[in-house]
Amino acid sequence: MQKIPHPTDENLLVGLHTADDAGVYKLTADIALIHTVDFFTPIVDDPYMYGQIAAANSLSDVYAMGGRPLTALNIVGFPQILFSNDILAEILKGGYDKVTEAGALIVGGHTITDDELKYGLAVTGIVHPDKVLTNAGARAGDVLILTKPIGTGILTTALKGEYQLGTLLDQVSQMMARLNNIAMEVMQKFTVNACTDISGFGLLGHSHEVAKSSRVGLQFQLSQIPHYREALPLIKKGFVPGGAGNNRIFLDDKVLLSENLSWEQSTLLFDPQTSGGLLIAVPADHAEQFLQALHSAGVPEAAIVGRVVAEHPGQIEVVD
């Protein structure tokens, strides 16, 4: 495959050269623009909920860079033969409500006829050029904090397989639709060294980007990682998204898994997430305070999941 050239510019603060969440372009001494885009096929049956989740997911990359979303554009692929316009209206209402909750504005969009339903947004945000959070700043000694449970890929795969999730469906939907804005606001009040959001490459895939860009090792404590209670039994039942296998293959020589980890447990760590939480590297001396601030601000699921180490730079270790 031909290598795609990476543009460089003195005002381009974050571009294609790092595997970060979004591009950042310095406009003035005080303002940098954040650009990001994301869209995907439905993961829940309720169109209004799907719209909210897709929007929360698209907005997340702005928060992961430490920024605030300003405007957004809808991106829609719509099979008119399969769905009524009422369905589309519900999806767009979900997106609208979530973007409004974020304090941003939907200012336009584009729809094409497609074989498969797709929805997402291109989002523009702002951040102070000196306060951009990337995945490249983690330092040995930092504590790692994760703000949402993992396992959404497993659960939504079970849903597609007609498995009845019961009350868990509502729980996981609400969690995916939850904005990462509160966690971002708490980050503004503390020294934070690195941040990324957990999405398609799973907890270990996005952690690898942090390890590689920051030239450090990460160490996770399996028992501390928040996850949905049904995730492991569902993996046993065979509900494993294809992306989890791809992530496992790609990360093969980049992860050091404890021999005591079961295949189901490691699969959960490779599970691709939709609208996942933020993974934040915080200096150890105020990690506990930071965690308490997250809990009292309305992110009770946030947990200390591991630490940054000087050993095995670029690699992730998981201990049980």
Binding site for Co ion (CB under 5 A): 20-21, 38, 61, 64-65, 134, 196-197, 199
The residue with its CB nearest to Co ion is 21
Cβ–Cβ < 8 Å for 110, 75: yes
Using the minimum distance from each CB to Co ion, give the nearer residue, 134 or 247: 134
Q: From the CB of 181, what's the least distance to Co ion, in Å? A: 15
Using the minimum distance from each CB to Co ion, give the nearer residue, 52 or 134: 134
Q: From the CB of 135, what's the least distance to Co ion, in Å? A: 5
Nearest to 302 by CA among 152, 177, 182: 182
Q: From the CB of 21, what's the least distance to Co ion, in Å? A: 3
Using the minimum distance from each CB to Co ion, give the nearer residue, 88 or 127: 127
Q: From the CB of 38, what's the least distance to Co ion, in Å? A: 5
Using the minimum distance from each CB to Co ion, give the nearer residue, 213 or 265: 213
Using the minimum distance from each CB to Co ion, give the nearer residue, 158 or 200: 200
Q: From the CB of 53, what's the least distance to Co ion, in Å? A: 14
Cβ–Cβ < 8 Å for 44, 50: yes
Q: From the CB of 318, what's the least distance to Co ion, in Å? A: 21
Q: From the CB of 270, what's the least distance to Co ion, in Å? A: 17
Using the minimum distance from each CB to Co ion, give the nearer residue, 197 or 271: 197
Per residue, the 3-state secondary structure of the chain, as one string, reads CCCCCCCCCCCEEECCCCCCCCEEEECCCCCEEEEEEEEECCCCCCHHHHHHHHHHHHHHHHHHCCCEEEEEEEEEEECCCCCCHHHHHHHHHHHHHHHHHCCCEEEEEEEEECCCCEEEEEEEEEECHHHCCCCCCCCCCCEEEECCCECHHHHHHHHHCCCCCCHHHHHHHHHHHCCCHHHHHHHHCCCCCEEEECCCCHHHHHHHHHHHHHCCEEEEEHHHCCECCCHHHHHHCCCCCHHHHHHHHHCHHHEEECCCCCHHHHHHHHCCCCCCCEEEEECHHHHHHHHHHHHHHCCCCCEEEEEEECCCCCCEEEEC
Using the minimum distance from each CB to Co ion, give the nearer residue, 41 or 113: 41
